[in-house]
Chains A and B, each alone.
Chain A
Amino acid sequence: DAGITQSPRHKVTETGTPVTLRCHQTENHRYMYWYRQDPGHGLRLIHYSYGVKDTDKGEVSDGYSVSRSKTEDFLLTLESATSSQTSVYFCAISEDIRVTDEQFFGPGTRLTVL
């Protein structure tokens, strides 16, 4: 199994509070991704990173920011959480960005915003 961990695994927070989710990898892969999974929507890409300090937006980036100061860590921040951001968040990594490259997924973080 690819070495990907996510923390926390579960979080309950209140509307308006900031939240940061962490993805940590031990594979030294260049590319990292954040997805959210919601019933009826499958997985949707929030942001991805193609190197240290290099990030780009995905399909549903509004309300989220990311940072990557080290190869192994990719942080997802909800500046002011809303109930619509209640979801399961998955981090993924890939060695390269070719379309052939498999993405390996972390275990997921279940976030509930009350």
Chain B
Amino acid sequence: AQKITQTQPGMFVQEKEAVTLDCTYDTSDQSYGLFWYKQPSSGEMIFLIYQGSYDEQNATEGRYSLNFQKARKSANLVISASQLGDSAMYFCAMRAFTSGGYQKVTFGIGTKLQVIP
């Protein structure tokens, strides 16, 4: 079965500091994609970053980077130089396909990040 685990229900970080949000996953599929989404208090889901299972380099998008350790099955999100606007819920997600071609999508339960001035 496919599973995403986010063990940090809440995190605090000082403004301008870096923070790491943890995500571990479990799958028997060889090909899968890992995603991070941000959900501010307004409710919308905002795509942040993607990492493919065959990608050898860690993904980066501006202040966001994904620390992908395939052997450990972890895909941690690193936010550098935190800003007050980074306060939000963050979700890790995985997409994969069964041998029958059906799609599986799994989200973690999220981590609430609060940036302190």
Stretch in A19-27, A65-73, A96-104 with 4+ CB within 8 Å of B: A96-104
Task: Check A107 against B44 for contact (C-beta < 8 Å).
Answer: yes
Task: Check A108 against B103 for contact (C-beta < 8 Å).
Answer: no
Task: Check B96 against A43 for contact (C-beta < 8 Å).
Answer: no
Interface size of B by CB at 8 A reads: 27
Task: Assign chain A's interface to a size class.
Answer: 20 to 34
Assuming A40-B109, A43-B91, A108-B44, is B103 touching A100 (CB within 8 A)?
no
Stretch in B13-21, B27-35, B64-72, B73-81 with 4+ CB within 8 Å of A: B27-35
Q: Does A113 contact B (CB under 8 A)?
A: no
Q: Does B105 contact A (CB under 8 A)?
A: yes
Q: Does B107 contact A (CB under 8 A)?
A: yes
Contacts of B102 in A (CB 8 A): 56
> Considering residues B31, B91, B97, B103, which has the most beta carbons from chain A within 10 angstroms of its beta carbon?
B103
B101 to A, closest residue via Cβ:
A97
Q: Does A52 contact B (CB under 8 A)?
A: no
> Considering residues B53, B102, B108, which has the most beta carbons from chain A within 10 angstroms of its beta carbon?
B102
- A18 CB to closest chain B CB, in angstroms? 25
The distance in angstroms between the C-alpha atoms of A88 and B42, with both chains bound, is 13
Q: Does A58 contact B (CB under 8 A)?
A: yes
Q: Does B25 contact A (CB under 8 A)?
A: no
Q: List 16 A-B contacts (CB under 8 A).
A: A33-B105, A42-B108, A42-B110, A45-B105, A48-B105, A58-B105, A92-B45, A97-B103, A98-B33, A99-B53, A100-B52, A103-B47, A104-B47, A105-B37, A105-B45, A108-B43
